[in-house]
Amino acid sequence: MSIKDYYFIFDLDGTIANTLPDIIPAVNYMLKKAGISPKDPYEIERSIGSGIEEVVKKLTNFKDYNKIKSSVNDFRVHYEEHLIDNTSLYDGVMDFLKKTCFAGSIITNKPEYYAKNLVRKLGILDYFDICIGGLERFPHKPDSSSTKFVMNTYSGNRKTIFVGDSPIDQQTGANADIIFCFAEYGYSTIEEKNNIKYDHILKKFIDINKIFI
């Protein structure tokens, strides 16, 4: 098979872009506003993946909806102002997208406004058919509704590959009954990496060329 026979669905954070350098200070800004001491970067890394509301709940232990909503807003204010201060694409992403223009989409649990703004500022939005964020149109991953929508709308007769760095992504691929390519370089813990089931593995993003091109 050639590259033209595949359609790629990518996760965003930890898969095509290293976003942690801007997420971590935004989270600690939110915690400071909530009167909570800053967290270690590793603890913050472990908390992300299911949406900012879940991050707030995990790191603050807030139960009150209004407090959670206020902290979510504090995070978003800071994050929007510093969206790509230190965020960068992983090596090889741009070259790969140039080879496979409009043979892929992004599905992330990051709010769609931030996801689109981020990839636009990184100069890669126009390489994708669509960028779908969390909850605006579809339930969060691992629900496969967004994945199936992309498959039915864009992939055609091509074999669909879901590329992601987390158990959530792996389960999303399984729920959609498609091939899962594990981005091992991403944000999963050692324990998660040892338990994730995959069809292909990327030690670094540029390994994708060895597998599919």
Same domain, yes or no: 70 and 162: no
Same domain, yes or no: 27 and 95: no
β pairing state of 88-89 and 17-18 = antiparallel
Any idea what the CATH number is for the domain that residue 41 is in?
1.10.150.240
pLDDT band at 136, cuts 50/70/90?
Answer: confident
Same domain, yes or no: 145 and 54: no
How many domains is the chain partitioned into structurally? 2
Same domain, yes or no: 29 and 54: yes
Same domain, yes or no: 72 and 92: no
Q: What is the per-residue pLDDT for 2? A: 81
Q: Residues 161-188: pLDDT tens digits?
A: 999 999 999 999 999 999 999 999 999 9
Longest dimension (CA), the chain: 55
Among candidate residues 54, 81, 108, the one where a domain is terminated: 81
How much is the pTM?
Answer: 0.92
Same domain, yes or no: 49 and 34: yes
Residue 37 has pLDDT above 80, yes or no: yes
Are the C-beta atoms of 51 and 44 separated by less than 8 Å? no
Q: Which domain holds residue 52?
A: 20-81
